[in-house]
Structure 1
Amino acid sequence: MKYRIKEDSTFHLAIVVLLSLIVTACSHTVQVEGNYPAPVGHQFPLSVGIYLSEDFKNYTYQEDSEDREEWKINTGRAQENLFETVLGSMFINTISLSEYPKDVPANVELVIVPEVRELQFTMPRETRVNIFEVWIKYDMNAYDSQGNQVASWVITAYGKTPTAFLQSQEQALTQAINIALRDAGATLYTGFEKVPELQAFLSGKVRSASLQEFKVKSPQAE
């Protein structure tokens, strides 16, 4: 009888180990790292605060649907690097804010707050094409120095990569995400002044600066 109990315990342990191995084999973890080049070009004449929340800096997407393997994808550090790099090159002065709306420096004219709306991806077996595809959507929010919302717009980014020359699915998906993040950075840079509310805000700042310059020069002209 004692032998029977030991035999059952060994069998149950083997089942637990086997199930653990199956779960591990069907789960994937992706930690996206990335360094992104700063765009070179015209800088907007603004002093801007950048607030990246803890949720944004630690963003992790988890896929646990019944018809897919389990995926855990962390893009937080990569997108933090991206937004700090791109926004840091777009304005004459940028300040990283540890809190918002508290403790905003007096010289900050605009505060930009990005948020991840969603991340989606497709795998080769789903599309019957040997590529991974990734879509990332960001909600962008801009506030003036008083905390009033100036603008709200959406950035949609896309990336894809073939799996043929990569060693694993994780590598392929990581590369596709990095391509999507670069696309997000390019869209942010080229699309900023196309947002109507931001156009109006920038025009108002330019007019105000021109008027101030005129007032300073006028007494000298006299």
Structure 2
Amino acid sequence: MEYPRNGISALAKAGMLLCALLVTACSHTVRVDGDFPQPVGQQHPLTVGIFLSDDFRNFTYQEDSEDREEWNIDTGRAQKNLFETVLGSMFTETIPLSHYPQDLPQDVELVIVPEIRELQFTMPRETRVNIFEVWIKYDMHAYDPQGGSVASWVITAYGKTPTAFLKSQEAALAQAINVALRDAGATLYTGFARVPELQALLANKQRALSMKESGPAEAQPTE
């Protein structure tokens, strides 16, 4: 029996090619490009700095467990758009921060820093319809201008593919993530003032503004 001179038989080459094709076929890439409406409501009277880290802006979730196919899910751009849109509508002024805590503008009264803690999704294993469920959890941090912690709280969001009539799993998962991000935005918008420490901060700010508007009390005449 003759052996190939290069040490790799045609059968082995075919096997390697087949394995490569199978890996490619079982790999999914999802990029979420969310477009989120700006909430409309009364703004909190604060000048707020918003710091979105590079990890947050470029976040990609990688799923490579033994019982699942490979998934690469890019949500960085979408969650950046979401938080900039929602936070931008919540306060009288917001300032994007490229660095923190360095170079903080003097008029910033509060700095908000979101971090993504967890992204999970369920796959449609038992049926052929492309419906996914998604859970996203964010750790929210608020700091004073000196870098001291003011408040920390958690946002948990849920989303589900709104229709089963999508041609691909990638499109179905992207829609579910968009629904979850909208849920996160709504929770951030409605829940900010319910965080006890932030509720107290807003009350103090409103009290200071009221005293400033009323002006100094008139001096009482002396006898």
TM-score, with structure 2 as normaliser? 0.92
Number of aligned residue pairs: 221
3-state SS in 2 of match to 1:104: coil
Q: Are the aligned partners of 2:32 and 2:178 in contact in 1 as well (CA < 8 Å)?
A: yes
Percent sequence identity is 70
Return the alpha-carbon distance in structure 2 between the equivalents of residues 176 and 153 of structure 1: 24
Cα distance, 1:3 vs structure 2: 7.3
TM-score, with structure 1 as normaliser? 0.92
Q: Give CA-to-partner distance per residue, 1:93-131, whole Å, 9 cap, x none.
A: 000000111111000001000000100000111699862
Q: Which residue in the other structure is 2:89 paired with?
A: 89
Return the alpha-carbon distance in structure 1 between the equivalents of residues 152 and 21 of structure 2: 46
Q: Which residue in the other structure is 1:105 paired with?
A: 105
Return the alpha-carbon distance in structure 1 between the equivalents of residues 213 and 220 of structure 2: 12
Q: Which residue in the other structure is 1:25 paired with?
A: 25
Q: Are the aligned partners of 2:192 and 2:198 in contact in 1 as well (CA < 8 Å)?
A: yes
Q: Which residue in the other structure is 2:137 paired with?
A: 137
Return the alpha-carbon distance in structure 1 between the equivalents of residues 129 and 21 of structure 2: 29
The one-letter amino acid of 2:122's match is: T
Return the alpha-carbon distance in structure 2 between the equivalents of residues 28 and 179 of structure 1: 20
Return the alpha-carbon distance in structure 1 between the equivalents of residues 132 and 47 of structure 2: 39
Cα distance, 1:58 vs structure 2: 0.4
The one-letter amino acid of 1:117's match is: R
3-state SS in 2 of match to 1:86: helix
Q: Are the aligned partners of 2:113 and 2:140 in contact in 1 as well (CA < 8 Å)?
A: yes
Q: Are the aligned partners of 2:130 and 2:166 in contact in 1 as well (CA < 8 Å)?
A: no
The one-letter amino acid of 1:149's match is: S
The one-letter amino acid of 1:50's match is: I
The answer for unaligned runs of 5 or more in structure 2 is none
Return the alpha-carbon distance in structure 2 between the equivalents of residues 202 and 194 of structure 1: 10
Return the alpha-carbon distance in structure 2 between the equivalents of residues 10 and 220 of structure 1: 101
Return the alpha-carbon distance in structure 2 between the equivalents of residues 220 and 34 of structure 1: 58
3-state SS in 2 of match to 1:40: coil
Return the alpha-carbon distance in structure 2 between the equivalents of residues 6 and 195 of structure 1: 69
Q: Which residue in the other structure is 1:159 paired with?
A: 159
The one-letter amino acid of 1:192's match is: F
The one-letter amino acid of 2:111's match is: V
3-state SS in 2 of match to 1:12: helix
Return the alpha-carbon distance in structure 1 between the equivalents of residues 127 and 109 of structure 2: 46
User: Cα distance 1:221–1:61, how it changes in 2: closer, same or farther (>3 A)?
Assistant: farther
The one-letter amino acid of 1:85's match is: T
Q: Give CA-to-partner distance per residue, 1:46-95, whole Å, 9 cap, x none.
A: 00000000000001111111011111111000000000000000000000
Cα distance, 1:12 vs structure 2: 2.2
Q: Which has the higher helix share?
A: 1
Q: Which residue in the other structure is 1:212 paired with?
A: 212
3-state SS in 2 of match to 1:184: helix
Return the alpha-carbon distance in structure 2 between the equivalents of residues 133 and 127 of structure 1: 14
Of 140-149 and 125-134, the range deviating more from structure 2: 125-134
Q: Which residue in the other structure is 1:56 paired with?
A: 56
Cα distance, 1:156 vs structure 2: 0.4
The answer for unaligned runs of 5 or more in structure 1 is none
Return the alpha-carbon distance in structure 2 between the equivalents of residues 104 and 190 of structure 1: 27
RMSD of the alignment, in Å? Answer: 2.3
Matched, 1:177 2:174: no
Q: Are the aligned partners of 1:63 and 1:71 in contact in 2 as well (CA < 8 Å)?
A: yes
Cα distance, 1:212 vs structure 2: 2.7
The one-letter amino acid of 1:206's match is: Q
